[in-house]
Structure formats: structure tokens, C-alpha cells
Structure 1
Amino acid sequence: MATEGWPEVAKGWWVSSPGIPIVGIVGERVVLPCQLSQDPIPEVFSVRWIFHDDSRRILVGSFDGKSLEEGDGRFQGRVEFFPWEFRAGNVSLGLRNVRISDQGSYTCHVSFQDMSQEVSVELEVAAIGDIPTIVLNSRKSDFGLSCRTSGWFPNPEILWLDSQGKIRKESSSPRMTLEPLGLFRIDASMTLPPGSDLEVSCRIVNPRLNVTRESRIRISGSRKENASAVKVKLEREEEKKKVKSVLAKIHFKKRFVPVAWNALERILELPSGESGVSAPTFPVHVGQEGFRSGKCYWELELGEEQDWVLGVLWENAGCGARPIPGRDSWALRRSQGELFSSSGPRGLGKLRGNGSTLGVFLDLDWERLEFYNVETTELLERLDLSTGGDPQGMFFPFVSQGEGIRIRPVPIPLPLKGL
């Protein structure tokens, strides 16, 4: 816009954006950059952010230097400005808990006296889904494989690879299904003809983030044997650099919450995972505070303890009922060096590296609990949470007793770091 007729302080005043799309991760926080260029910065001005939905212009939020006004209901409770940065010309918009519907074009509109300038910012949304699961179906002369995963956006690419990491030539028939929250579920299948390489990888690629998740299956045994006689080793693994990329996108440390334990111990029953086997009991410490919503992350230093259990339990604070094993608690435990999950009796293997510090990520927006080896950044287990829809309950951290077990403080990055 022309600046003719502006006061002297406003001449040469403009707003700018990066000029390239900004990528936001579903469920996380994103900052849409907008920079005011003027020396000196006007003492009084206002900024309005507008979202373009088809032919409509929807107010996201505005700030007049004194108060924040939230706009359309879809953005309420999720908008933030950075007034302490206004003197540096930073009039960016913070948007929490990114949704698929947030994708689109935004306008940063800055006004000074009776003049204004605006610039557009494009937001692209992405989501990194689950590690794929490979299912084997044995036949008389060949093997049928299925690869399943969910929670992706945009529509991902599916690759079947051989033992050398090369794309396999066998035909594949992927099927994409749109889930209720706008994310994609993928079901892909293929057939291994006689004489094929019996090591297969299913790789899912998010093209927007260039992040992959991969599972590999090795098949040994005669093709004439039936499915129950075929030995299958399924390895759910990602290269260290890929996992680190995922962790960097999720910004766990920004979700760090301090955890303090109640002094009194409690006896907690956990599911055994086997029918006819009584639930094992553990003396544990439970957190003083619980969580009802949002995303929470904490790290536990386990010291020299070899056998331990940690996780979360769900309790209705008003009734004081004892948690029911297998329904109200979700845990990861180590026994005689082997890891086990509350989801079943299947062993998860042994911890790699030192394994003395574990990260716990409680995502109540997506109803998931994840455990990480902090040293190797390896995802150890992911559990789905369910509380039967009771709004009165809360999730409380817990950990078994032991000398040297303590919460590890995690530094929280500054809100505008990296801009």
C-alpha cells in the first residue's frame, strides 16, 4: 500500500512474512510469523489476524496494545500474541493445539492511526501417524502381507522395500480411509510370489515433513508349512535420526510438568495379561496432582534399580474407589531385564544403552500414553487410554519405590525460541 499522506513516523512502514508456508503439527503449537519494519516502532498500533475460509474472512484474534480479542469460536482458547516482543516489531500469532481445519491462508493486518498494511501467511498442517503393523497371511504357494497404520496427514506415501532397502516390484493395493478427526488410516497389502526375498519392510512417508515410520518382517520356514509353523520376527524400529526428527517436531520438553510424589505408599494391582493368573501387586508412590486434559511430559531417573514399574492410573477423585487392574491403570515395567507392557504378556525386549532415564508422554487430547528411552530417543511402547467418558476422573503418575528413583528436571524452551 502507498504511504503518501502518512505521518513521518509511518513512512517506509511495512509488514512482512517469510513468504513460504509454515508447517504446523496436529495437536501442537505453531507460530505464524509477521514482522513490522519501522524505526522507530510506533508507540500505538493494532494487529488483527484473519483466516480465509472459502469466500469468508474469519477473525482469529486481535490485539490493540492493551487487550486480546478472540474471534471465531473455532479458535477460542487457542490464540496468543507476544506483546513483550512488539517493541521489536514481532506481531506474530501463536496458535495452540493445531487442527486439520486450521490449514489455509491467514492475513496479518497491522493498523497505525488511519493507515494499514497486511501480509499473507500460509499454514500447512501435518501429522505423524503410528508405527505401521505388518500382518502375515500364509498360503500354499505364497505369502500375503498387510501393512496398517493410522493418524497421518496429509495422505502419506507407502513403500514396500526388500532386504537391501530397494523398492519391491510386487504390486500393492493401498487403501486410504479418512478418520473422524480428518486424519488418514492406511491399509496396504501385497503378495510375495515364490522365490521372493523374504525380508520385507513397510515404510510410511509423510511428504510434507519428510518423516518416515517403518516396520520390517523377516520370514523363515518352508512355504509348505502352515501359518502356525512359520516363524515370524516382526521388528518395529526406526533409525535413530528418524526418531530424533519426530521427537524434535513434537517438542516434548515444552510439555514438561513437575511431578511431586505423595509420601505415603500405595499398593497397586496391575493386569497380569494372562487368563487365570492373579494380578501382581506393587508398592508405588502416586503423584500429588493429576491431569484431566492437555499434553504432559516428565522424565524419571531410575538410578540402579533393575526391576521397576511406572505409568499412570485413573481415579475419580470424588469416590475414592480402588483402581481396577487392566481398566484404570496403564504401565511399563521391567522384570529380570525384560520390558513388559500392561497391554499384554508379550515381552518388549531389553532396554538399549544405559536405560536409566525414561520419558513419559501423556497425551490426553489423543488419549495416548507413550514411554521413551531418553538416551536413545527410542519409543518403547504406546498405550491407548480409555476412561469410559467419566468427566470427574483424573490421571495420576505413579512409580514403584526404589532408592535413587526421582523426577529429572527438564529445561523449558522460551516461547519465541527459533523464530
Structure 2
Amino acid sequence: MASLGQIIFYILSLVQSLNRLPVANLGKDYMLSCFLPPDSEQSTLQEVSVTWRKESLEGVVYRYEDGAESTSEQDSEYSGRVEIFRDVVPKGNASLLLRKVRRSDAGKYTCSLSHSGGSGKVNIILRTAAFTAPTFTLSNGVLTAEASRWFPRPNVTWLDADDNVLQGSTDLQQSSAGIFRVVSTLQSVNVSDIYTCSIKTELVVSHSDATVTTDSDVTMETYFTFNAASPLIAPYLRIMCVFYVYLL
């Protein structure tokens, strides 16, 4: 027979998240996932309440109880910027939509979900950054990569098809909001060759493979990797999640 401690651990572990160490793009909307897995869902949960909190924040980020949103204790930073999808809450989905992500949104969040059959919670550490896939142009043998939004300050590296580092020239233009626009050029490129432009910060890396098809045309493919290492987990643990963006 399971001990009381084992039963409590099992109940708490039922609440899950698709990504407990996400990186959200500044200025964009982001969904913090929190849910009961399918094998623990009932067709309809009864007496459901959901509370989202953020570490070091006195008020709550969001609260749902008695079938409605409760704003009495909500911190002003999140007023009008967060919501859950009430039609799926009775099925155990308490995911939170955070609108127009700000740098100050970074931190440790706790999603607590309770219903008539039990309760549980999950912690999520949100990091924030700005990142966009670059666009490429080709003129007079010069390949140019431009990316409009990066934060923090990125590093740019050019590679050839054999992963040899090439000598490119990069200009970083910082806006009043601290966001960087990246313009990087590579001289004397050859038709039919493939060049890789890597834009990197401590959280996000974009890898763009640009193929020079003619003297004035280039095709590209970009994917992002996200570093899931966190000071709150073992320092040697590094997980790379991959997100693909195809540009035609």
C-alpha cells in the first residue's frame, strides 16, 4: 500500500507543463502551459480553481474560481494582459496566455490547479529575449543578412559549407528600447555555394543556411535553438529545443 507521502507526491505530480523552462519573445504573446495529463483527466472536473503566481510578487498573476476570473488580488502588471481559456478549464487545462511579453515578465511562475478530486501545482521558469529570423539579399557578390529584433546583444558568425569561420562585417544598431537590429555582410560569395549565418545570445541561437542560386538570388532556411539551462537546475544540465522556420 502506498504511503501518505507517496500519495501526496502523486497528486502534486499530476499537474504538468509542456515546457518548464521556456524562452518568450519580447513584445509577442506567449502561452505558459499548465494541465492535467489525459490519463488523469475526468470528462468534466468539478469545483475547479486555478491560481498563477510569480515569485517575489505580492499579488497574483491570475486567479480563476467559482467559474469566473477573480481580479481582487491581481498585480497591476498583469491586469488586462493575461487570460486562461475557460471552456477547457473543466477538462484540466489551466494554461495562461501572456500578452505582449515584457522583460519584467521573466521569473519563476507557479500554476496551482485544484478541483473536487485533488490539487497540484507546477513551476515554470520563464526567460525573455528578442529574436527574429534574418532575411537575405545578394548584390554584386555581397551577401547581406538583416534581422530586426534581437536582445540581449548578439554575436554573429559566418561559416562556409565545411563549417570554416569566414570574415564577415556586422553592424548592431540599438533602439531606445534596447533592442538590436542586426545587419551583417559577407563579401565575395560564389554562386551555388552555401553559407551559414549564426546569430547568438546566451538564450537563443538562429542558424540560417543561405544558398546562392544566381548572381542576384538566394534561398534560405532558418531554425532556432533555445538553451534551457537555468541557475535553478543543475549547472551541467543543458537541453536544446529546436524550432524550425522555413523561408522561401
| TM-score normalised by structure 2 residue count | 0.60
After superposition, the Cα gap between the structure-2 partners of 1:43 and 1:148, relative to the gap in structure 1 and judged at 3 Å, is: closer
Q: What's 1:167 paired with?
A: 164
Q: What's 1:151 paired with?
A: 149
Could you tell me whether the CA contact under 8 Å between 1:153 and 1:206 is conserved in 2?
Answer: no
**Paired residue type of 1:80:** E
Q: What's 1:13 paired with?
A: 11
Q: What's 2:244 paired with?
A: 245
Q: Partners in 1 of 2:138 and 2:30 — Cα distance?
A: 33
Offset, 1:151 = 1.0
Q: What's 1:270 paired with?
A: none
Give 5+ residue unaligned stretches, structure 2. Answer: 224-242
Could you tell me whether the CA contact under 8 Å between 1:205 and 1:211 is conserved in 2?
Answer: yes
After superposition, the Cα gap between the structure-2 partners of 1:188 and 1:42, relative to the gap in structure 1 and judged at 3 Å, is: closer
Q: Partners in 2 of 1:22 and 1:33 — Cα distance?
A: 10
**Paired residue type of 2:67:** K
Offset, 1:49 = 0.9
Q: Partners in 1 of 2:81 and 2:216 — Cα distance?
A: 41
After superposition, the Cα gap between the structure-2 partners of 1:27 and 1:236, relative to the gap in structure 1 and judged at 3 Å, is: farther
SS in 1 for 2:89: helix
Offset, 1:187 = 4.8
Which string of whole-angstrom CA distances, capped at 9 and with x for unpartnered residues, describes residues 201-250 of structure 1?
571435756543466789xxxxxxxxxxxxx95545314x76x9336xxx
Q: Partners in 2 of 1:57 and 1:146 — Cα distance?
A: 48
Q: Partners in 1 of 2:164 and 2:11 — Cα distance?
A: 53
Offset, 1:184 = 2.3
Larger relative CO (CA 8 A, sep 6+): 1 or 2? 2
Percent identical pairs in the alignment equals 25
After superposition, the Cα gap between the structure-2 partners of 1:67 and 1:202, relative to the gap in structure 1 and judged at 3 Å, is: same
Instruction: Tell me whether 83-92 or 96-105 shows the greater mean CA deviation.
Output: 96-105
After superposition, the Cα gap between the structure-2 partners of 1:101 and 1:128, relative to the gap in structure 1 and judged at 3 Å, is: farther
Could you tell me whether the CA contact under 8 Å between 2:27 and 2:100 is conserved in 1?
Answer: yes
Q: Partners in 2 of 1:180 and 1:155 — Cα distance?
A: 14
SS in 1 for 2:67: coil
Could you tell me whether the CA contact under 8 Å between 2:45 and 2:92 is conserved in 1?
Answer: no
Q: Partners in 2 of 1:135 and 1:75 — Cα distance?
A: 46
Q: What's 1:122 paired with?
A: 125
Could you tell me whether the CA contact under 8 Å between 2:139 and 2:216 is conserved in 1?
Answer: no
Structure 1 position 92 matched with structure 2 position 95: yes
Q: What's 1:212 paired with?
A: 207
Which string of whole-angstrom CA distances, capped at 9 and with x for unpartnered residues, describes residues 352-411 of structure 1?
xxxxxxxxxxxxxxxxxxxxxxxxx63xxxxxxxxxxxxxxxxxxxxxxxxxxxxxxxxx
Q: Partners in 2 of 1:178 and 1:80 — Cα distance?
A: 32
Q: How does 1:6-405 map to 2 (within 5 A)?
A: 13-14=11-12, 15-18=15-18, 20-36=20-36, 43-52=46-55, 55-70=56-71, 71-111=74-114, 117-126=120-129, 127-131=131-135, 149-153=147-151, 155-162=153-160, 164=161, 166-170=163-167, 174=170, 176-188=172-184, 198-199=189-190, 201=195, 203-205=197-199, 211-213=206-208, 233-239=215-221, 245-246=244-245, 378=248
Q: Partners in 1 of 2:104 and 2:66 — Cα distance?
A: 29
RMSD: 4.5
**Paired residue type of 1:205:** I
Give 5+ residue unaligned stretches, structure 1. Answer: 5-9, 137-142, 219-231, 248-376, 379-419
Which string of whole-angstrom CA distances, capped at 9 and with x for unpartnered residues, describes residues 322-345 of structure 1?
xxxxxxxxxxxxxxxxxxxxxxxx
Q: Partners in 1 of 2:9 and 2:125 — Cα distance?
A: 27
Offset, 1:120 = 0.7
Q: Partners in 2 of 1:237 and 1:39 — Cα distance?
A: 46
Q: Partners in 1 of 2:54 and 2:136 — Cα distance?
A: 35
